[in-house]
Structure 1
Amino acid sequence: MRRLGNLALSTLLVGAAFAGGPAAAGPGHDHRHDHGHGHGLSFTESVIDADQGFRGLDAVDRRTAWVTGGSASGGPGRVFRTVDGGRTWQDVSPPDTTGLLFRDVEARSATEAVILAIGPGDASRIYRTTDGGATWTAAFVNDDPAAFYDCMAFFPGGRKGLALSDPVAGKFRILATRDAGRSWTVLPSSGMPAAVPTEAGFAASGDCLVTAGRSAYFGSGGAVSRVFRSDDRGLTWTATDSTIPPGEAAGVFALAFRTPTEGVAVGGDFAEPADGVDAVATTRDGWTWRNAGDLTHLAEDAAYVPRGGHLLLVTGQSGDVMGTSLSRDGGRSWTKVSDSGWHALDCTPDGSCWAAGAGGRVARLAR
């Protein structure tokens, strides 16, 4: 989102202790445990590169995860990968990335991943690797100065995917791939509702655009706060009110779905990060959104607990204001379980959850 610049546990979380990842790490790594106000959470945190703000995160399984970031000092944007459950992280960044802000990563395995850099004009780029980051191909470089890409997502199977740009000529722009990210095409805008002036997306956590089954959803903020849905791979969209308050730095930051129609939208206001009132909305049909429980912090990302039914986590970090909260009822009520918060959150079907945030911080939550 232009106005914001550097603006994404397991089986039964409640009552179950989460053993953090291994305590070993390479030089310069700092591990700590945050036991989450007695709620049975154990976070194992590492600092990979303190200069990086991580907002892109994709966990493949309990051993493999990718994170992407941007430099706080104007240096290169970095990409890191672990294949040993977070014991060690390898810098697998593309070359010549000075000034780039990598805000999203979509990984299929330890070897194949697609990453998105955000920004106006050619700062918005998509790179792809099939060898674990040893080499990268520039699959897309934006040549429209009016476009600003925020996030991307792939449908099940990994061949078809979409990327979202802030409005161009009054409508959100959708980029699509049909070959696992090798090539990308701008889709026609005829099926996209008109954007409201100053409406845009948030590149907060890489989850402002998500897929659920054959459907795709993205959230907006600014003048209005809406959720857009497509059931035809991004060709046509329907927009509905999210119930999350809009504002210059407020709206929907991320979405997560338990089924193709049951999901949650989360957000807040970066100008008032401690105000989490009305920052959560839920849907049971994928069309109608209802206001849910309040938070004590903004929510930049959300994830359903694997095999946990309606258990849901949200996390957010804005300067010194941060937190992670848990819902046992699908988002209707919330309990803050940790004073630690991150920008991005992701859980895997095999029962592990990962988080990433500012100051090069990554964390692993596991059974």
Structure 2
Amino acid sequence: MRTPPRTLTAPLYAVALVALTAPVALAAPSGGPATDGGAEPRALSWTTTTVDADQSFRGLDAVDRSTAWVVGASVTGGRGKVFRTSDGGASWQDVGPADATGLNFRDVEAVDARTATVLAIGEGEKSRIYRTSDGGATWTEAFRNDTPAAFYNCMDFYSDGRRGLAVSDPVDGRFRIAATQDGGRSWKVLPDDGMPDSSGEANFSASGDCLTISGEQAWFGSGGERSRVFSSRDGGLTWSATDSTIPAGEAAGVFALAFRTPGQGVAVGGDFAAPADGVDASAVSSNRHTWRSGGDLTHLGEDVSWLGHRVVVVGQGGPVGGASVSDNGGRTWQRFSDELFHTLDCTSDGACWAGGGGGRVGRL
């Protein structure tokens, strides 16, 4: 699995494994304490449905209020599944590839109710990308990693829908990028000449959003020996890296990023070894390139998404987690729920969807 970096010692690996597989006791939505001491946010709460209790959901893409896709892995070793709703969550259909036993789906990028691309993570050939254009009735394997040391963690597409990038943990000291120019139908590994030295770093496939694209710029986050944000404006050929201000550590760093515009972004993270410690677990950028510390959280920040002018963050480490909201671009946060989710996506028409352990999906 790739929640923390590959170099975890056994105790920390166990922490991350619990975060992926442990059963979760559902908590009622809660207007928890405001982390900035201000007024409570406008009432927010989750409506939660158990779609498949054997799945741990860590990848989700919402198209609109009606349509969303969520992907996961079996906690008992069965088939990794892909589910889709097209009726606002009233029902969910298992539409994933049939040959997915043992696969760990961690990311999905959807165009609509019929077209989606999903990423399975893992070392070597376990890292794969599948694509459907008929709502999951059939799937085509578009990419299978053939480098034993590579481990792909997340992907995203440019707004034209044709170009996309996927990021792998470093190979020979540099993060590896795969790219598509045809909507995910085929992928090729890009040369790494333009990638800064990344020795000792890794991505986190905590939520499928460790890499994000806005406008013509792409970003991804890292953790491990350094906690940085990498950015590219030329389709993934060259990258620059800057400190994220989120603390680094063996199981710590940047877990997810989201941009309201190409110039206004939020990064979130934390430490899987200390999931209740959200100090300095967010960072903000107003110029695409440099980052400054955002507000503290009271839980991990595994995923983050913009909901209009507001920002929503979710996260879970074992039994510890919650959801928070910011009304000022991530400078301060207010916890509004104790519900436990790993992945999140909000849409332009005002809906937020989330996925988590025990096969649960929530709608805000």
**Common fold, TM-score beyond 0.5?**
yes
Paired amino acid for 2:147: D
TM-score by length of 1: 0.90
Structure 2: how far apart are the matches of 1:61 and 1:293? Answer: 29
Structure 1: how far apart are the matches of 2:141 and 2:317? Answer: 31
Q: 1:318: how far off?
A: 1.4
Contact map agreement 2:28 2:339 (CA 8 A) in 1: no
TM-score by length of 2: 0.91
1:40-119 matched pairs, under 5 angstroms: 40-119=43-122
Q: 1:351: how far off?
A: 1.1
Structure 1: how far apart are the matches of 2:49 and 2:60? Answer: 14
User: What is the aligned partner in structure 2 of residue 156 from structure 1?
Assistant: 159
What CA deviation, in whole Å up to 9, does each residue of 1:100-138 have, x standing for no partner? 000000000000000000000100000000000000000
User: What is the aligned partner in structure 2 of residue 225 from structure 1?
Assistant: 227
1:34 paired to 2:29: yes
Contact map agreement 2:163 2:183 (CA 8 A) in 1: yes
1:177-326 matched pairs, under 5 angstroms: 177-197=180-200, 199-306=201-308, 309=309, 311-326=310-325
Contact map agreement 1:280 1:331 (CA 8 A) in 2: yes
Structure 1: how far apart are the matches of 2:335 and 2:30? Answer: 12
Paired amino acid for 1:34: P
Identity among equivalent positions (%) equals: 63
Tell me how large the CA RMSD over aligned residues is: 1.7
Contact map agreement 2:45 2:337 (CA 8 A) in 1: no
> Cα gap change, 1:32/1:291 in structure 2, threshold over 3 Å: closer, same or farther?
closer
Paired amino acid for 2:85: T
Q: 1:43: how far off?
A: 1.2
- Report the secondary structure of 1:146's partner residue: coil
Q: Which runs of 5+ in 2 are unaligned?
A: 21-25, 33-39
Structure 1: how far apart are the matches of 2:283 and 2:116? Answer: 30
Structure 2: how far apart are the matches of 1:204 and 1:158? Answer: 24
Structure 2: how far apart are the matches of 1:233 and 1:35? Answer: 42
Q: 1:35: how far off?
A: 5.5
Q: 1:36: how far off?
A: 3.7
Quick check: 98-107 or 327-336, which moved more? 327-336
Paired amino acid for 1:115: V
> Cα gap change, 1:213/1:169 in structure 2, threshold over 3 Å: closer, same or farther?
same
Quick check: 330-339 or 102-111, which moved more? 330-339
User: What is the aligned partner in structure 1 of residue 126 from structure 2?
Assistant: 123
Contact map agreement 2:45 2:336 (CA 8 A) in 1: no
Structure 2: how far apart are the matches of 1:288 and 1:152? Answer: 22
- Report the secondary structure of 1:95's partner residue: coil
What CA deviation, in whole Å up to 9, does each residue of 1:214-237 have, x standing for no partner? 000000000000000000010000
Q: Which runs of 5+ in 1 are unaligned?
A: 9-30
Paired amino acid for 1:136: W
Contact map agreement 2:60 2:345 (CA 8 A) in 1: yes
